[in-house]
């Protein structure tokens, strides 16, 4: 059976790639990515209730460079209100967290558990926190950002996650993978791609090797990464995570797909349990 993948967190509605979304989806679909969790924005509670099919999407806590623009006390207050709404409506939630995992765990403990599930997207917390988050209903989604973590630490984190709680994502157009960059898929028109490499994997440089026949980042010695992440690059995340878990890509793909279908199969969802 062909390998199936589910991108558990991406932003195909992002203005940087919106006009290219049909092309990106088509290419990704051709590589086996058949479902995407697109994290957009909806501020109207009543509208959400009216349309019925939705989940409480992207919320969280951020002590990074972007989050510092907003008072952290205010962040926590709003975050807890959003968690309460997710519980009230029995919907899963995708959580963004930057340098605030202790605060996140404290907030979730004060309000949990969360039977509908909480996706810790692009998880970069510690291995020690994994069991505590899991008790509250958390799933752990890994993206190209995991490659910024030291390999042994990343391996400990992954090994701490049980097989029924692991998810894969791209966070496209962000989180460009930094491992195995010679096989990255490109977003057409990405101006950061080194000269001589184009969006179809063709090149005019003698030091480049094409490893795929469709939208591949193929320069052996390129010093910079693309600025835009393609949803098909979940394959690079898959390969990296599978290698650290000492399992085959096929095993991890099946496991993560099954987990994603489970958490996104809330009442009214278009994703049905398989």
User: Is there a binding annotation on residue 171?
Assistant: yes
* Residue 134 or 65, more confident: 134
Mean residue pLDDT across the chain: 85
* Residue 18 or 167, more confident: 167
The count of residues in the chain is 274
Is residue 217 a part of any domain in this protein?
A: no
Task: Specify the pTM.
Answer: 0.86
196: left (phi over 0), alpha (psi -120 to 50) or beta: left
The total of structural domains in the chain comes to: 1
- Residue 75 in 3-state DSSP? helix
pLDDT over threshold 80, residue 221: no
Is residue 244 a part of any domain in this protein?
A: yes
- Give the torsion through C-alpha atoms of 26, 29, 35, 38, to 10 deg: -40
Q: Using pLDDT thresholds of 50, 70 and 90, give the confidence band for residue 29.
A: very high
Is residue 120 a part of any domain in this protein?
A: yes
271: left (phi over 0), alpha (psi -120 to 50) or beta: beta
CATH number where 153 lies: 3.20.20.140
Domain coverage including residue 125: 56-189+233-267
CA distance 78 to 25: 33
140: left (phi over 0), alpha (psi -120 to 50) or beta: beta
Is residue 93 a part of any domain in this protein?
A: yes
CA distance 109 to 236: 34
Is residue 167 a part of any domain in this protein?
A: yes
User: What does the pLDDT average to over 233-257?
Assistant: 98
User: Is there a binding annotation on residue 96?
Assistant: yes
Residue ranges of E strands in the chain:
5-10, 33-38, 56-62, 93-98, 118-120, 138-142, 166-168, 184-185, 216-217
**Of the ranges 180-194, 197-211, 226-240, which one carries the lowest mean pLDDT score?**
197-211
User: Is there a binding annotation on residue 11?
Assistant: no
């Amino acid at each position: 059976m062909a390998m199936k993948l589910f991108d558990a967190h991406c932003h195909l509605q992002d203005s940087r790639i919106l006009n290219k979304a049909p092309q990106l989806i088509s290419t990704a679909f051709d590589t086996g990515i058949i479902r995407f969790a697109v994290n957009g924005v909806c501020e109207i509670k009543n509208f959400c209730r009216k349309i019925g099919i939705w989940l409480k999407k992207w919320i969280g806590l951020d002590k990074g460079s972007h989050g510092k623009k907003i008072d952290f006390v205010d962040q926590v207050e709003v975050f807890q209100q959003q968690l309460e709404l997710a519980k009230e409506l029995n919907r899963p939630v995708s959580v963004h967290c930057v340098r605030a995992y202790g605060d996140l765990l404290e907030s979730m403990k004060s309000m949990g558990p969360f039977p509908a599930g909480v996706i810790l997207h692009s998880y970069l917390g510690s291995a020690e926190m994994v069991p505590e988050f899991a008790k509250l209903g958390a799933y752990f989604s890994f993206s190209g950002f995991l490659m910024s973590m030291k390999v042994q630490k990343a391996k400990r984190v992954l090994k701490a996650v049980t097989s029924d709680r692991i998810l894969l994502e791209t966070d496209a157009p962000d989180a460009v993978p930094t491992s195995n960059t010679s096989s990255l898929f490109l977003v057409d028109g990405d101006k950061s791609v080194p000269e001589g490499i184009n969006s179809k994997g063709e090149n005019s440089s003698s030091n480049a090797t094409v490893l795929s026949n469709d939208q591949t980042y193929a320069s052996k010695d390129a010093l910079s990464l693309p600025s835009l992440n393609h949803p098909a690059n979940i394959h690079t995340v898959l390969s990296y995570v599978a290698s650290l878990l000492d399992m085959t890509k096929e095993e991890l793909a099946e496991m993560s797909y099954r987990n994603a279908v489970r958490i996104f199969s809330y009442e009214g969802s278009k994703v049905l349990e398989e």
